[in-house]
Chain A
Amino acid sequence: MTIAIRNAHATDLSRRGFMVGAAGMTFAVGAGLRPAEAARSGDVTLSPWVTISTDDTVAIMSPAAEMGQGSLTSLPLILAEELDADWAKVRVVVAPPNDELYKNPTFGYMYTAGSNAVTSYFKPLRQFGAQVRKVLLANAATHWNVPVAELTTGPNVVIHEKSGRRLTYGEIAAFAEIPVKAPEVAESELKKPEQFRLIGKDVMRVELPSKVNGTAQYAIDVQVPGMLYGAVLRAPVEGSGPDKIDDAKAKSIAGLVQIVPLPYGVGVIALTPWAAFDAKDALKVTWTKTGKAWGFDSEKMLPAFAAAARDLTQATKVWGAQGDTLAAMQAAATVVEADYRNDLVYHAQMEPLNAVASVSAAGDACEVWCGVQSKTIAVTVAATALNVSPDKITYHDMLLGGGFGRRGHRDEEYVHDAVVLSNAVKKPVKMMWTREDDFHNGRFNPLSAHYLRAGFDQAGKLVAFHHRKACDEVTAFQDPVRFARQKGRDGIAYNGLDAPYYEIANRLGEAVPRDTGLRTSSLRGIAHLTNIFAIESFMDELARSRKADPPDFRRDLVKGNARAVHIIETTRRMADWGKKRDGSALGFAYMNYAGTQIALVAEVALDRTSGALRVPNVWVALDPGIAVQPDTILAQTESSIVYGLGFALFERITTENGAVQQSGFYDYHVPRINEIPEMHIELVPTNNHPTGVGQMATPLVAPAIANAVAELTGVRLRETPMTPERVKKALG
């Protein structure tokens, strides 16, 4: 029997008597189904999250976007655990766009980012699972006329030990009465970690089989009858648009259907993808000089950023502070200072951005197929583009061929591109960016310059820490709605600036906001990517200035946190830290990434002739609390290391006159299989609330490499990426 889980618009659910509480995540069950109706339909929707069929299938909603991180599996598995469902009988259903029911509680809308899905949904999903289990128990108790306290559950079954009777969940679904109000579940009624049957045990990720035979469906794979193909030439600078369009040559391309001038570029629609790309390439457009980034040369401007970071008279926004850092710095016996710089970085998700849209003949409704980090934003984007209400948008959820922070901007502009092109012809259009477009329209991890100083007292104790970062305010561009809600605090650019997990009496993190007009974005590692390069490089310099062992130096600064100490010690042991290497050296870095304890050691060798760095080995230990899916955590950690390696050694976007200079994998170097280290990873789960695992190693790679180079050569590398040219220059 197929599951007829309501493809859940809120109206469907409320028709069945569900209400959503003020907190949004608690369900209050309404009138429920009469047994006869339930039996007829073959399924009982026990909450907006769970439907149990009479064939014993349990359908569970999965609210997050799947981009390789495994949330499609991990989230329903958490609910299944408390429901005591038989995982073999669980069918995962992608939740429809509905913020009210399925929002991420931290963000307040359906948004998959920040390695946040498991950590934010963990408690509510356990609650929902436990509530549904209670409903099943109550129904079985009534059915058998026994006290509910005499009942237990096993996988998909309610058991009455005394009489030896059993009812499967599917059997109960045939007669279940759903209470008016959801049962209360106290924290103490939830399973203890030692009772987990699913959490902590690896299951096959639900979509993985489709990813070895070509059947996995991404937006770019969608076929709609009568579909045309779209391409868009966007202005090189944000805020600019076409001034003069010479489309004579484009119009001569066989298969061209229509040229669509847009405020920010020029769209083309054609019968085939090759005609669309050829026509786009044949356009000759001059651009208005509107927009802020014209004239911005990233290479020339980075020194100005560095000067601003150092200039204590510059206006700042305090990101985080404790004590009186400026006074403590003044009173310090010794002050150490340093600066660091980072270039722009590109996401390079393997699927170039694209979307498919089909606008109705009257222009009053639209279907969209897209892979996005926020599906409710995609619906809003499509509705806004057509000036219709969101209920006129039919959204089709597709897998993401990589996300890395690129696909959750408030404007999801590639979805917009597809909708406006489809609207121009009132036909389905598959809108694809080429790889070159994906570069040129890229939104990058921002350019940043960091100035750090530290004060030690007479006894050699670190008493003051000051970190100033000059960089664009990313959230202002990426998500103005969130930026306003956060009253101008820009977590995407500045999170962790003051290293709040280090026990330092006086610390100050200050944003020195720039406004270049460049397109910027969160990228894997987010603010920490550059902040940790600066902080952990600096910690290494401080340790060396005190002739302290680098891991010891950090351990002394986290000694109140046993989990942190344990992870530092574990990593040190794994890497055999004290052992001298021949021709290579080790570097250490640690961070507390949103509660996940993680430390990394990199072994680095140097080719002094070319300046090329090689990383033969990386050791990582991490404690993310409860490990919901251990193998997925290992995979994400491997993945994070590779991503961090690219940032550390290779990846560099530059702009000239505001325009992106790189266009493909021929002038932008992402790590390949022959460039990666041997990875040694120890997962150290603890019974703490689970925290993020999707990107935690990424920020540690660059500082660990730089610290190893310092150990190996005595020379400090202060700029990412650490390209051979830069290494040679630093070595002198």
Chain B
Amino acid sequence: MATSFQINGKAVHSDAPTATPLLWVIREELKLSGTKFGCGTGLCGACMVHVDGKRAFSCQTQVGEVAGKAVTTIEGLSADSSHPVQKAWLAEKVPQCGYCQSGQIMSAVDLIKHNPKPTRAEIVAHMSTNICRCGSYPRIVRAVERAAREA
């Protein structure tokens, strides 16, 4: 049974069983590899995407659940890394190994979208869904602050 939905503004459909994690459909069927597999349990945030404008763990979202909805991945943020959060991420040189950073950025974009001037405490609380094993956390805080300032 095919599931139809939008990804980064484009209509797509997937023939995967409806219970299949959206993550794997995005990565292996739609070949958008920026969204990462980290834990499969919604505890690391490497798989973070937006569904209808709100962040969601794509490893915990069944593809059937996004039928008719709009999914945004890191690839859909901008064509040229020009989203203010992406620019702030580069300016603060946040990434180390980089593997978690798509998910970090998607979480940060979600925060600023719903709370354009977050406090430091709000940033930390919001971003605590996402693990960075390289410990880029101080730079994540700085980058979110910068993005909020410069957006």
A residues with a Cβ closer than 8 A to B are: 67-70, 204-205, 207-218, 220-221, 223, 229, 254, 272-274, 348-352, 399-404, 432, 434-436, 631, 635-636, 638-643, 664-666, 670-674, 676, 679
Cβ of B139 and Cβ of A273 under 8 Å apart?
Answer: no
- Complexed CA–CA distance, A672 and B140 (Å): 12
- Complexed CA–CA distance, A635 and B142 (Å): 13
The SS class assigned to the A binding surface is loop
Residue B118, interface by CB 8 Å? no
Can you report 10 A-B residue pairs in the complex whose CB atoms are below 8 A from each other? A208-B95, A212-B90, A214-B73, A223-B31, A274-B20, A350-B44, A350-B133, A638-B135, A638-B137, A639-B134
- Encode contact with A along B53-92: 1 for CB under 8 Å, 0 otherwise: 0000000000000000000011101100100001001100
Closest A residue to B130 by beta carbon equals: A673
- Complexed CA–CA distance, A67 and B95 (Å): 10
Residue B136, interface by CB 8 Å? yes
Known A273-B28, A401-B36, A673-B140; further 7 A-B contacts with Cβ < 8 A: A67-B97, A213-B74, A223-B33, A254-B17, A402-B134, A664-B40, A673-B137
Known: A350-B44, A638-B136, A670-B133. A68 touches B98 (CB 8 A): yes
Instruction: Provide the residues of chain B in CB contact with A214, threshold 8 Å.
Output: 32-35, 73-75, 102
The SS class assigned to the B binding surface is loop
Instruction: Provide the residues of chain A in CB contact with B141, threshold 8 Å.
Output: 673
- Complexed CA–CA distance, A674 and B138 (Å): 10
- Complexed CA–CA distance, A189 and B137 (Å): 42
Known: A351-B36, A639-B135, A676-B137. A402 touches B81 (CB 8 A): no
Cβ of B124 and Cβ of A674 under 8 Å apart?
Answer: yes
Give the contacting residue for A638; candidates B16, B20, B102, B139; CB below 8 A.
Answer: B139
In the complex, how many angstroms separate the beta carbon of A317 from the nearest chain B beta carbon? 33
In the complex, how many angstroms separate the beta carbon of A582 from the nearest chain B beta carbon? 21
Give the contacting residue for B41; candidates A212, A666, A670; CB below 8 A.
Answer: A666
- Complexed CA–CA distance, A665 and B39 (Å): 7
Residue B93, interface by CB 8 Å? yes
- Complexed CA–CA distance, A221 and B133 (Å): 19
Give the contacting residue for B24; candidates A215, A273, A631, A642; CB below 8 A.
Answer: A273
Instruction: Provide the residues of chain A in CB contact with B140, threshold 8 Å.
Output: 673
Instruction: Provide the residues of chain B in CB contact with A436, threshold 8 Å.
Output: 40
- Complexed CA–CA distance, A641 and B17 (Å): 43
- Complexed CA–CA distance, A404 and B97 (Å): 11
- Complexed CA–CA distance, A487 and B105 (Å): 48
In the complex, how many angstroms separate the beta carbon of B74 from the nearest chain A beta carbon? 4
Cβ of B97 and Cβ of A400 under 8 Å apart?
Answer: yes
Q: Residue among A70, A348, A671, A674 with the most chain B CB within 10 A?
A: A674
Within B100-151, the residues touching A (CB, 8 Å) are 100-102, 105, 124-125, 127-128, 130-141
B residues with a Cβ closer than 8 A to A are: 16-17, 20-21, 24, 27-28, 31-41, 43-44, 46, 73-75, 77-78, 81, 86, 89-90, 93-102, 105, 124-125, 127-128, 130-141
Give the contacting residue for B99; candidates A272, A274, A351; CB below 8 A.
Answer: A351
Cβ of A272 and Cβ of B24 under 8 Å apart?
Answer: yes
In the complex, how many angstroms separate the beta carbon of A647 from the nearest chain B beta carbon? 12
Cβ of A205 and Cβ of B93 under 8 Å apart?
Answer: yes
Cβ of A639 and Cβ of B136 under 8 Å apart?
Answer: yes
Cβ of A671 and Cβ of B125 under 8 Å apart?
Answer: no
Instruction: Provide the residues of chain A in CB contact with B46, threshold 8 Å.
Output: 350
Instruction: Provide the residues of chain A in CB contact with B134, threshold 8 Å.
Output: 68, 350, 402, 639, 642
- Complexed CA–CA distance, A205 and B132 (Å): 19
Instruction: Provide the residues of chain A in CB contact with B94, threshold 8 Å.
Output: 212
Instruction: Provide the residues of chain A in CB contact with B20, threshold 8 Å.
Output: 272, 274
Cβ of B28 and Cβ of A348 under 8 Å apart?
Answer: no
Cβ of B33 and Cβ of A402 under 8 Å apart?
Answer: no
- Complexed CA–CA distance, A307 and B20 (Å): 51
Q: Residue among B24, B40, B98, B100 with the most chain A CB within 10 A?
A: B98
Instruction: Provide the residues of chain A in CB contact with B124, threshold 8 Å.
Output: 673-674
In the complex, how many angstroms separate the beta carbon of B138 from the nearest chain A beta carbon? 5
Instruction: Provide the residues of chain A in CB contact with B17, threshold 8 Å.
Output: 254, 274
In the complex, how many angstroms separate the beta carbon of A345 from the nearest chain B beta carbon? 12
Instruction: Provide the residues of chain B in CB contact with A204, threshold 8 Å.
Output: 90, 93
Known: A205-B93, A213-B81. A643 touches B34 (CB 8 A): no
In the complex, how many angstroms separate the beta carbon of A92 from the nearest chain B beta carbon? 16
Instruction: Provide the residues of chain A in CB contact with B131, threshold 8 Å.
Output: 350, 665, 670, 672
- Complexed CA–CA distance, A416 and B150 (Å): 48
Instruction: Provide the residues of chain A in CB contact with B31, threshold 8 Å.
Output: 223
Cβ of B102 and Cβ of A402 under 8 Å apart?
Answer: no
Cβ of B128 and Cβ of A674 under 8 Å apart?
Answer: yes
Closest A residue to B127 by beta carbon equals: A673
Known: A68-B96, A666-B41. A672 touches B128 (CB 8 A): yes
Cβ of A220 and Cβ of B37 under 8 Å apart?
Answer: yes
In the complex, how many angstroms separate the beta carbon of B137 from the nearest chain A beta carbon? 4
Instruction: Provide the residues of chain A in CB contact with B41, threshold 8 Å.
Output: 435, 664-666
Give the contacting residue for B101; candidates A212, A274, A679; CB below 8 A.
Answer: A212
Known: A635-B136, A665-B41. A212 touches B95 (CB 8 A): yes
Instruction: Provide the residues of chain B in CB contact with A69, threshold 8 Å.
Output: 96
- Complexed CA–CA distance, A510 and B16 (Å): 58
